[in-house]
Amino acid sequence: MARSVSPVIPGFNLTLGYTLVYLSLIVLIPLAGMLVYAAQLSWQDFYRIISTPQVVSALKLSFGAALVAALVNGFIGTLLAWVIVRYRFPGRKIIDALIDLPFALPTAVAGIALTTLYAPKGLLGQYASDLGIKVAFTPFGIVLALTFVTLPFVVRTIQPVLEDIPRELEEAATCLGANSFQVLRHVLIPALLPAWLTGFTLAFARAVGEYGSVIFIAGNMPGKTEILPFLIMVKLDQYDYLGATAIGVMMLAVSFVFLLLINLLQRYLIKH
Amino acid sequence: MSIEVQHVNKAFGDFKALNEINLAIESGELVALLGPSGCGKTTLLRIIAGLEKPDSGHIIFNGDDVSKRDVRKRNVGFVFQHYALFRHMTVFDNVAFGLRMKPRRQRPSETEIRAKVMELLQMVQLDWLADRYPEQLSGGQRQRIALARALAVQPEILLLDEPFGALDAKVRKELRRWLANLHEEINLTSVFVTHDQEEAMEVADRIVVMNKGVIEQIGTPAEVYENPANEFVYHFLGDSNQLQLNDQQIQFRPHEVELSRQAAPELQAGIVRDIRPLGAITRVTLKVAGQEQPIEAEVVRDNINLIGLQRGQTLFFRPNAS
Amino acid sequence: MSTLVLSTTRQRNLGALTLIGCAWLVFLVFLVLPLYVVLSEAIQQGYASFFTAVLEPDAIAALKLTLIAVGISVPLNVVFGVAAAWCVSKYEFRGKSLLVTLIDLPFSVSPIIAGLVYILLFGAQGFFGEWLAEHDIQIIFAIPGIVLATLFVTVPFVARELIPLMQQQGTQEEEAARLLGASGWQMFWHVTLPNIRWGLTYGVVLCTARALGEFGAVSVVSGHIRGFTNTLPLHVEILYNEYNHVAAFSVATVLLVMALLMLILKQWAQERLEK
């Protein structure tokens, strides 16, 4: 079955075998186990669990907030990547290095820090409440936390692409009489879009499943600021394994459809 | 050590890379595998080295069938097109690698290794670069280090994949001669792959011309140039002119032309388009009425017909293919 | 601010300055302020209470458990990452792209689900629940469960860094080593491993950072038994929910320092990698 690039390089059977066994034991079999477990439920039962108002509102909140956070990152991330790649200014290196902080910082730490910062009496929260904006314990706070933890994705996916776009390309376009808007539309956006979408997708997928950074700032008010992972947690605390499994399977299915759609869009864009 | 290739076939998926290859190389020969890219020459070289397994056929070294022998045991030196030097090792460690990898019983002591490596580095005239890393070297230097590394394990066969391909024109010329001399000095059987006919003609004892997975002709440089086996070999080995004469199409090489300023019945007329002095010879480009393709004539620079010749003048010529 | 920009005209300078200003603002509000909050909350009542919180036995036990989870999951994922990158980058085979997708799968699965799947396998009501109870083996609400959950979420990190790196490096150096008489292991130790060392370091750092901080997956399987199945992030949560903010932020500071250390290591590995 296998055709190696070069028959003198040994270890194909060993490494492939090890990879498959390890991946199956840690990831694939447990995930399949969840699907098998869910099969105990009839379609009616399954539908009954996932159509309660609590689950529906959590579903909307989880996917909605993730989508907004990914979009915000699509904007902020592009800005940061652009500034880091194109300009030389004081503090550039430190900004570049600290962009990855949300990846390195434990999500629970991020969660309590953001909650304290944006609580009504917090450092920033007090100004927000002066303006009549509530951040902590609202969907706004959830979006904020998700934006924080997924900040690096868009920056890190478009940064290398941006570095590879030769300045000459823009200069050539300018010499041909294009204004900045036209350069943006016809040169930069087409070149960046596939990577941007990849970053967007990664951020979205991570945001949908995120738990640690969100539960503190969300406040978890039933029907208002409960996210899906939190509901699974609640069901597990009540030893309602079937309920937790049903929500988990639904979450995976919806994520899968979303990712598939984005993937199709990406293919469409690459073709045209 | 002699090399024999018998009935070798190799396909990659639907693509037939080598088709019934038979080839015998004598001990001490320097042979070029010449052909356009994709003709299978590199695949053949890799099969001889043991880097690729043929679908069928045999490779025989000095009468021993080595087809099943592991690459480590074939004892061939191989120089990759892009050298494949170990980037994290110094030049010294690169050359010493083969000696250090030997089983403990056969492994020379560090002192012996040091002496052997320095000897090789002196041979390629780069002993002063022993502590550098590959990325600090020029292309020509890397090439020679790759050669020293291949020779360290004292192979009896040396295989080189496009050894001059990645070098600029001047270094390439120097290294070619140097390689030919080296081959003379240390009695090796060498096979190299190239797509450059001039290179093959200048360096090799014999040339194997390949195209689309088959061998078109095997012979000395003179044989393949003078007596090409077919159209492909004829065109691949040098420039050629095509002339429509009455109903007949004639082919001849640019140097196989006789020029004259005077018209004569057996001569063709052409208008001078360009005159290029190229050192020892001068190339005249002629436009012949009734055909698109111009005729190129190469004559010695002091050819009498060139005196005072100007563009736009009419010149008479005749192919004098021997 | 004396800003050096590459653009020349005044108008473009203004645009550049605005963009750089925005980037600084995002950086300060979004990345620096949270850090500041963690530190200032931790030491608001002085260093004594900080050290009390950090050196308390439950905190030390949580630190130990976190290090155990890291110490087991990182080496296992390194071996997996190298093996996976080896077969994916050095060979062609059918189903390769499917394999790569499967390796990345844990990235798009919620950590809560990662915990859930192990509960369904090994929990009291799970597939193996009864069998495990009969043999008196505890996985869920015990250390093995925490390690498994950490393994699940960190599976892709090393492989993901190594696959593109090894694909780009190709196989010629390995072939050269074989031709010069190296055995498979010699080739791996002397040629492949030195070539991928910085990419490997980079992957290990990312994997370690995630293993140190994993919260959701571990939270599901841990059972939150203080001093026994609490990792550092879970300990932070408990303290915070008990309104013991100073202690929560003190322990959070320890995690923050570890995270910054990982960032420095990452930067260092990256610079070596790009050289």
Each residue of B150-159: pLDDT tens digit? 999 889 899 9
Report which secondary-structure segment, H or E, holds B117: helix B110-123
The answer to whether A12 contacts C83, with C-beta atoms less than 8 Å apart, is no
pLDDT at position A5 is 56
Is residue C10 predicted with pLDDT exceeding 60?
A: no
Is residue C160 predicted with pLDDT exceeding 80?
A: yes
Question: Which residues of B make CB contacts under 8 Å with C?
Answer: 49-51, 71-72, 76-78, 80, 82, 84-89, 97-98, 101-102, 149-150, 152-153
pLDDT at position B248 is 81
Please write the tens of the pLDDT for every residue from B250-301.
888 888 888 888 888 888 889 999 999 988 899 999 998 888 889 999 999 8
Q: Quickly list DSSP for B50-87.
A: TSS--SEEEEEETTEE-TTS-GGGS-EEEE-TT----T
Q: Quickly list DSSP for B137-178.
A: S-HHHHHHHHHHHHHTT--SEEEEESTTTTS-HHHHHHHHHH
How deeply is B277 buried, as exposed, middle or buried, from its count of CB atoms within 10 A (0-12, 13-18, 19+)? exposed
Neighbours of A242 (CB within 10 A): 17
Write out chain B residues lying below 8 Å of C179, CB-based. Answer: 49-51, 71-72, 76-78, 150
Please write the tens of the pLDDT for every residue from B181-204.
888 888 789 999 999 998 899 889
The tens-digit pLDDT sequence of chain A (272 residues) is 344 456 788 889 999 999 999 999 999 999 999 999 999 999 999 999 999 999 999 999 999 999 999 999 999 999 999 999 988 888 899 999 899 999 999 999 999 999 999 988 888 888 888 888 888 888 999 999 999 999 999 999 999 888 888 777 777 777 777 777 777 777 788 888 888 998 999 999 999 999 999 999 998 888 889 999 999 999 988 888 999 999 999 999 988 888 888 888 888 877 77
How far from the centroid of its chain's Cα atoms is residue A19's Cα?
A: 26
Q: Answer positive or negative: Cα dihedral of B104, B106, B111, B114.
A: negative
Mean pLDDT, residues B82-106: 93
Please write the tens of the pLDDT for every residue from C92-122.
888 888 999 899 899 889 999 999 999 999 9
Q: Answer positive or negative: Cα dihedral of C108, C113, C119, C120.
A: negative
Write out chain A residues lying below 8 Å of C125, CB-based. Answer: 239, 241
Neighbours of C170 (CB within 10 A): 15
Characterize the bridge pairing of strands B157-161 and B241-245: unpaired
Characterize the bridge pairing of strands B189-194 and B157-161: parallel
Q: Is A7 on the interface with C (CB under 8 A)?
A: no
How deeply is C11 buried, as exposed, middle or buried, from its count of CB atoms within 10 A (0-12, 13-18, 19+)? exposed
Measure B219 CA to nearest chain C CA, in Å.
29
Characterize the bridge pairing of strands B214-219 and A3-4: unpaired
Q: How far apart are CA A183 and CA A202, in angstroms?
A: 27
Residue C7: pLDDT band with limits 50, 70, 90: very low
Which residues lie below 8 Å from residue C34, measured CB to CB, with a gap of 6+? A110, A113, A114, A117, A148
Q: Is C186 on the interface with B (CB under 8 A)?
A: yes
pLDDT at position A270 is 76
Q: Quickly list DSSP for C186-248.
A: HHIIIIIHHHHHHHHHHHHHHHHHHHHH--HHHHHHH---TTTS--HHHHHHHHHHTT-HHHH
pTM above 0.80, yes or no: yes
Q: Is C196 on the interface with B (CB under 8 A)?
A: no
Please write the tens of the pLDDT for every residue from C16-72.
888 899 999 999 988 999 999 999 999 888 898 899 889 999 999 999 999 999 999
Percent of chain B with pLDDT over 70: 99
Q: What are phi and psi of B78, to 5 degrees?
A: -135, 130
Within the 159-218 window of chain C, which residues sit less than 8 Å (CB to CB) from chain A? 171, 174-175, 178-179, 184, 187-188, 206, 209-210, 212-216
The better pLDDT of the pair C170, A148 is held by A148
Measure B71 CA to nearest chain C CA, in Å.
6
Which residues lie below 8 Å from residue C106, measured CB to CB, with a gap of 6+? A27, C114, C152, C153, C154, C155, C156
Measure C120 CA to nearest chain A CA, in Å.
7
Choose from A89, A98, A163, A171 for mutation: most chain C CBs within 10 A: A89
Which neighbouring-strand residues pair with B78?
B159
Write out chain A residues lying below 8 Å of B50, CB-based. Answer: 8
Is residue C182 predicted with pLDDT exceeding 50?
A: yes
3-state secondary structure of B107: coil
Q: Which of C150, C141, C152 is nearest to C119 (CA)?
A: C141
Nearest chain C residue to B49, by CA: C179
Q: Which of B90, B97, B98 is nearest to B74 (CA)?
A: B98
The answer to whether C179 contacts B101, with C-beta atoms less than 8 Å apart, is no
pLDDT at position C8 is 44
Tokens encoding A53: 């108002």
Q: Which of C160, C152, C143 is nearest to C67 (CA)?
A: C143
pLDDT at position A133 is 84
Tokens encoding C3: 């800003």
pLDDT at position B245 is 78
Q: Quickly list DSSP for B38-54.
A: TSSHHHHHHHHHTSS--
3-state secondary structure of C139: coil
Nearest by CB to C181, from B82, B89, B153: name it: B153
Residues in chain A: 272
pLDDT, averaged across chain C: 89
Q: How far apart are CA C119 and CA C141, in angstroms?
A: 9
Tokens encoding B198: 């001039």
The secondary structure of residue A123, as a DSSP letter, is T
The answer to whether C194 contacts B82, with C-beta atoms less than 8 Å apart, is no
Q: How far apart are CA C80 and CA C96, in angstroms?
A: 16
